[in-house]
Each structure stands twice: as C-alpha cells, then as structure tokens.
Structure 1
Amino acid sequence: MTDQLVGEPFAGRRTRILDHLDRRTPGHSLPGALYTDPDVFASEVDLLWRRRWLFVGTVAEVPEPGDYFSFDVAGSSVLVIRDDDEQVRAFHNVCRHRGSRLVAPGHGSVGNLVCGYHSWTYATDGSLRYAPQLSPAIDTACLGLRPVALREVGGLLYCSLAAEPDGDLDVVAEQVRDYITPHRLDRAKVAAQVDLVEEGNWKLVMENNRECYHCEGGHPELICTFFPTWGLREDQIPDRLRADHDRYLFAEADLARRCDALGMPYALIEELADRPFGFRIQREPLDGAGESFSIDGSRLVGRLLGDLDDPQLGRCTLHTQPNAWIHLLADHVVTFSVTPLSPDRTLVRSTWLVHEDAVEGVDYDVEALTAVWRATNEQDAEFVRNTQLGVSDPAYVPGPYNEAERQVDDFVRWYDAQIRSEAQRGGADD
C-alpha cells in the first residue's frame, strides 16, 4: 500500500483533491468534483478512511466469547471478535498463509477461526494454533492474525486501519463516556439491523445528517419527536413556530431537572471541526411524551436499558467524524454507521439495541421499534440520490449554507482540514 501511494499515481491524485479544495468557497457547499471524481474518492480512502478512527459497531454485537462480525472499509476487511478471555479484539480478515478471507461478511460465532482454504486455525486471540504440514523450522508465533487498532467507548467500538493511530479518540472518550455508560450497552442486545445502500457520495450522506433544515417537510415521522425549532437560535424562531419553541424550552428545562437528579450529564460539547476525532454530544428533549422515537413520543420498549427507571430522558445524541451518529434513549439505542462503497454509493447501517432481557413480542415489537428511522432513512436516501444527481450536473454551482446548516459547514471544514493535514504528511499507513 505504501509503495503505491508514494509513487506518481498517488501524488497526482493528491494534487487533484487539493486543487479542488483550493477552489472551495468558505461557507458554501463543496465543488462538484469532490462528490463525483473517482480520483478524489481514491484519495479520500488513502488519506482519511485508512487513517481516522471509524465507528464499526457495539459490544452488544459480540456478547459471548467467539462471537464476531466483519465489515469492509477502505479496501480492507476487518474482523471484530470477543476472545475466550472476554476481551473484544479486531484483526484483518486475512489468513496469514495465502490471504484467504477467514469469515464472510456479517455476524457469527466460532470456537476457533478456521480458514476454509487450507485449514489454518487461529484462536480467538488471533494466535496461530494449527497449520497442516507447516515446516517445524517456521516460527508460528510470528504468524498470528494482524491486529487492527480498536477502542471501546462506553460500549461503542471504533477501529483504525492506521499503523500508528492518533490519540485523539482517547482524549474525547474521557469527555463522552459518562453520557453513554448509563445506557449500559454491555447489557444490551441487537433487536434489529438494517443495511441501506444510498445512491450518493458518503459526504452527502453525512452532510444530510448534520442538519434538520429539511426535516419539517421531509421527515413527517421524525418531527413527531424532533422539535421543529431544533438548531435555530432564539432570534431565528419564526412566529408560526413560537408555540413549538416554548414547548421545547419547557421540555428542555424538565429534562435538565431529571438529569440533575440522576447525576447524568446533558450539556452540549461540540468540537466538530478542529480536531482529528471531530465530535458532538448532547442530551436533548424529545417532543410528545418525551420517551422514545414513536409517533406520540411514548416508549417503544417495556424494559428500560441498564438500571434506568425514568423513561423521560430524551435523546443523548453523539456525532463522530467521519462516519457515525448515535441516539441513546432510556428504552433503546439506535446507531448509524456510514461506509463509502464508490464515489456515488454509500452503505448506511442502522442497528437497534434493547435491554438484554427484553423479550420480542412482549417488551417490544421490531416493526414499531424501527418504523420511524426506517422511514427517515428511506426519505434521506432519496434526498441524497437527488443531490448526487444535482452535483453531477454541469449546471451545479456550490451554494451558501445558512445558520441551520452550521454543522454541515463544520463537517466540510473538518474534511478540508483533515485531507490537507494528511496530504501534507505524505505517504500512508499500511
């Protein structure tokens, strides 16, 4: 990988993406080529996706020793597994013999990892246990699976493909962990997981998520619990939404009282643009009953997460750059991860978690639990598809962001800064 990137092809791609960024007008959407050019996409994979911390899943997806899941990103397949000592580890999904994939995409459970090609066998800690007919002169201790850097933050799992990952995630983890831990993801289980391939560039998917400017007319299910004035300053509230905003202010004050009583943090921490692991976290009220993502805001799961006994805890939302947003509620958690597939195709994976003892059909109904976000995701996929068509049109000229799109601008500034920083550093991690 390194030899490929330091040669002329990478140098040319790097120059091209920087040229496009140099033409970016601050406060405006990106030039069209940054959403469509295959060379730009290849540079992003090299400079961003192989070097930054990526959200990949939760500990609830590997609850028992031998449980695993795999995911593909930036040309690599990564295997996340809980070993026999209960430690969650990550490895490259590549046999050390002749490179065969060890496991297929998805989830599973094993006693040992056995390569289907020549039966090389690895323990759950990645060590090589058995290799038929291997010469005794070869040191098997050097043939364990290649590790991938992994960090757990309150039950959320982040991986980095970099040989020497930056330490920024560890710093951020100390700021956000107390927001997440009351939901006890280590005592949760997966109730549903849905993959949706959106026909648009990964940045358009992230930008769409970073604003609710489109929510009032575009997400009728979601705005039943998302206050319509979310993201607006007090002086921007139109008269027609004043009653809605007053209701929001009342719900916000009530949520603060509940959190103070429980010793739960709720204040906004926002550092989306100016650090390698850009993030935003805040606990905010929900409309209606204030309990969950339902049409009337009432809870969707009878058994609350962890030891929580108050269902009216709104939504604790965590955004992390470049690929995740996560909502933690009293009755369930829903996580979203973004994986680029090509310049104009992006995988969005949505995962719903409930208490480990919650019983389907008794404590929750999967269709009801997932209904709002399944509808919202499909609506967003259409917005992204239409935007991809537009930015591919010769008539496209980047337009200005408004105040409600401030987080979109933060994302674009983060993207610009990270690409420039890594391009200046040169080369790439293997």
Structure 2
Amino acid sequence: MTQPPTDLTAVRRPLDSAQGLPNPHYTDPAVFAEETQAVLLSTWAGLAVAADVPEPGDAKPITFLGMPLLLLRDRAGVVRVFNNTCRHRGMILVEGPRKIEGAIRCPYHSWCYATDGRLVTTPHVGGPGQNTHAAINRSELGLIEVRSHIWRDVVFVNISGDAPAFEEVHAGLLARWAEFDQPHHHGGTDSTFTLPVRTNWKLAVENYCESYHLPWVHPGLNSYSRLEDHYNIAEAGLFSGQGTSVYRQLTSETGDTFPDFSTLSDFWNEGAEYIAVYPNVLMGAQRDHAFAIVLEPVDTQNTIEHIHLFYATEDTDAALRAKNTAQWKEVFKEDVFVVEGMQRGRHAPGFDGGRFSPAMDGPTHCFHDWVAHRMQLHRAAQVDAAE
C-alpha cells in the first residue's frame, strides 16, 4: 500500500510557528528517493572540485546518487562531467582515477572517445576489419555530458538539465561574495579530507547553517569568536548560514600568515562568513583562505563529507597548511556526534519535526522551507503528469 505524502504545511509556516521536516524525510527510503528527484537532481548540486582533475587528461569516476559519472579535464583544459558509460552497451568506461593518455577506450568492445566526449573509433562495428557502418553515426553517439558549472573551484551539476542558469539561481550569493571572484588555489593533498557520517545529508546542512550550537559544541572556537559575535544569513529559497565579526588568522611559529585574497573590503579584515549553498555545498569565506564541503548523500542515514581548503596563492607554507587542515578537521569532527545524534532522534515516533528559535534558527528554517517548497512543486508536477 502506498504511503501518503508527508504533510509539509507546518514546515512552511513563518519561523516563529513553524515545525521542522517530518521524520520520514530523514528515515524513509521512499521519501529519500522522492527528495532525490525534487531537491538534488533538479537543482545545482555539488559533485566534486575541479582540483580533483588538475591536469588535461585527468579523469575521476564518481558515483553520485547511484549514477556513474566521470569528472574529466579535456585536452583544452575544460572540466567536464559525462556519464561514465559507453554509448554501445552501457559498459563502465573508467574504473578508477587516472590520466587519459590517448582516448577513453571502452574495455568491452574498444569503442573510443576523445576527452571532449566525441566518439572517434568503433572497431569492427561493420564486421571484421570494417570500422564503420552506415547505421552508426559517430557524431550522434558521443558521451552524454552532464550540465555543469564551476564556482570557487566547486563543480556543480544539474542532472535534470532544466534548472535556470547557475548565475541566475545564485545571483544573490555571487553578488554577496563578489570580492572573492578571483582564483581559489587548492592546497593539495594536505588540504583535503573526508568524514563519513552516519546521518542524513540535510542534518549536516542544518547544523552548519547556524551558530546557536557554538558555545557547547565548539568551545575552543567560541572562546574568541563568541555567539554574540555572530549573525544570521538567510536568503529565502537560495542560501543561508552565519557570519562572524571576529575572525582570527592562523599564524606560524614565526608569526607568518597566509597571503590574503586581493582587494578585499575592510569587513574581511576580521569578518568571515559560512554559507550553505543549497542543496549540498557548505562554503567558508575568510580573508586568507576558503573552504568547501561537498556533501555526498549515500542513503537516508549516511553521508560522506568531502572537505577542501583553498588559498589566494599557489605557494603557501606547507607546515601552516597542515596546521590549518588539522584545525578545521577538529572543528568539523566536533559536529559529528551532533548530526549523528539528531539522526538517531528522528526515529522517535513522537517527534514532530521540532521547533525553531525565532532569534537563532532562521538559517535552518530557511533551508527546511526551501526543501519543503521543492517537494511541493515536485508533487504538484507528478499529479499534473498523471492527469
């Protein structure tokens, strides 16, 4: 028997009377599948970072929500995303990260593709020794490219292919952080790590959005960047997060710091902002470095956090980079017990989605309202299609 859809009426109320998303949005595989279509595949979701494929020919297979994708930097240096499947019989093309020296060759029947996706050879397709056939039009059988956009080195994808342009969807955020529209240099292998977390991906977003938890979950951070130094950021239907007016630069043993991004306004001397770019990318902007967390939704209660650190210049002190990575890793690990605890809590049958602090939880409610709205639009479209 098909379960009725979740009631999202209370989620869409004003902040002071709203409730959070109902339990099935964190525990029910059927709702996860519905949410995948409504929230993750039809918007601009984070997939990876361009630094994952630094040189022309570099390729990295990625499984995203069960789909085999291929992140690839082509010969011209353009980062692209393709389906990682041969157009002949659907064979996986690339099994692991590697450099494509010549063409992308299917291991099954040796059909070959250029790094820009063009089908270039089809051995014996017309019979032994016959590499062409009138029925096989190579120009129509290139790799299927997934719509993508790169911002601050993060590779966003629109799987459905019909979302408005990234620049249109996120015009407000791009304007807010326009000063950072400059190169972001990945710190390298010592500036990335992953955190597998036993939680629904949305709880990672919700926790990141707000500063309310700082005094208890991040006492070290709160010792200098206090709760009262923070402010809420909530742009309805687009993004939300928090900022601080007290940012402390990391220093080396000799007092050195990372080089600043260029021509920043005075606010960034001591200010910083931390914003969730809906649906699944968490970003930080500071004067001397930035970070991006790409959340990989695995299932209802498992998420992998892919953390990457970026700098204003390519050449930064290795010891200071390592110190910075260790510091952020400690901060992000402090959140793990919280998001995992909330996930376990969502299995309580009497929990009604919870309430929001009108003063402190505006960014989280903004995200809940966006998810609920996307779900309502998806359900309405499903009804229209069935009629």
Please indicate the TM-score interval, normalised by the length of the shorter structure.
0.7 to 0.9
Secondary structure of the 1:388 match is helix
- For 2:302 and 2:262, how far apart are their aligned partners in 1? 37
- For 2:175 and 2:346, how far apart are their aligned partners in 1? 38
Paired position in structure 1 for 2:282: 325
Structure 1 280/214 Cα, relative in aligned 2: closer, same or farther at 3 Å? closer
Deviations along 1:50-87, one digit per CA (max 9) or x if unpaired, are: 11111223333333222333432222122222222222
**What is the one-letter code of the residue matched to 1:319?**
A
**What is the one-letter code of the residue matched to 1:338?**
L
Paired position in structure 2 for 1:162: 160
Secondary structure of the 2:204 match is helix
- For 1:31 and 1:345, how far apart are their aligned partners in 2? 18
**What is the one-letter code of the residue matched to 1:110?**
I
Paired position in structure 2 for 1:71: 62
Gap runs ≥5 in structure 2: 127-131
- For 2:276 and 2:165, how far apart are their aligned partners in 1? 18
- For 1:390 and 1:176, how far apart are their aligned partners in 2? 36
Paired position in structure 1 for 2:177: 179
Deviations along 1:349-385, one digit per CA (max 9) or x if unpaired, are: 11112355325536x342x111232122222111111
Deviations along 1:187-243, one digit per CA (max 9) or x if unpaired, are: 44434221212111122121111112111110123325533214569xxxxxxxxxx
- For 2:221 and 2:72, how far apart are their aligned partners in 1? 34
Q: In the alignment, is residue 279 of structure 1 matched against residue 239 of structure 2? A: yes
Secondary structure of the 1:21 match is coil
- For 2:196 and 2:382, how far apart are their aligned partners in 1? 32
Paired position in structure 1 for 2:344: 389
- For 1:427 and 1:74, how far apart are their aligned partners in 2? 24
Secondary structure of the 2:269 match is coil
- For 1:185 and 1:352, how far apart are their aligned partners in 2? 13
- For 1:98 and 1:24, how far apart are their aligned partners in 2? 45
8 Å CA contact 1:58, 1:155 repeated in 2 = yes
Identity rate, percent: 24
8 Å CA contact 1:23, 1:31 repeated in 2 = no
Q: In the alignment, is residue 423 of structure 1 matched against residue 387 of structure 2? A: no
Structure 1 130/361 Cα, relative in aligned 2: closer, same or farther at 3 Å? same
Gap runs ≥5 in structure 1: 1-8, 234-267
**What is the one-letter code of the residue matched to 1:63?**
P
- For 1:183 and 1:370, how far apart are their aligned partners in 2? 23
TM-score (norm 1): 0.75
Paired position in structure 2 for 1:348: 305
Q: In the alignment, is residue 378 of structure 1 matched against residue 333 of structure 2? A: yes
Secondary structure of the 1:20 match is coil
- For 2:256 and 2:8, how far apart are their aligned partners in 1? 45
1:416 is displaced (CA, Å) by: 0.5
TM-score (norm 2): 0.83
Aligned-residue Cα RMSD (Å) equals 3.4
Paired position in structure 2 for 1:214: 213
Q: In the alignment, is residue 334 of structure 1 matched against residue 291 of structure 2? A: yes
- For 1:208 and 1:153, how far apart are their aligned partners in 2? 23
- For 2:95 and 2:185, how far apart are their aligned partners in 1? 27
- For 1:427 and 1:374, how far apart are their aligned partners in 2? 45
Pairing of 1:36-47 with structure 2 (within 5 A): 36-47=27-38
8 Å CA contact 1:90, 1:147 repeated in 2 = yes
8 Å CA contact 1:81, 1:124 repeated in 2 = yes
- For 2:143 and 2:175, how far apart are their aligned partners in 1? 30
Paired position in structure 2 for 1:56: 47
1:328 is displaced (CA, Å) by: 2.4
Secondary structure of the 2:21 match is coil
Residue 99 of structure 2, aligned match among 66, 91, 109: 109
- For 2:166 and 2:47, how far apart are their aligned partners in 1? 17
Moved more, 154-163 or 306-315: 306-315
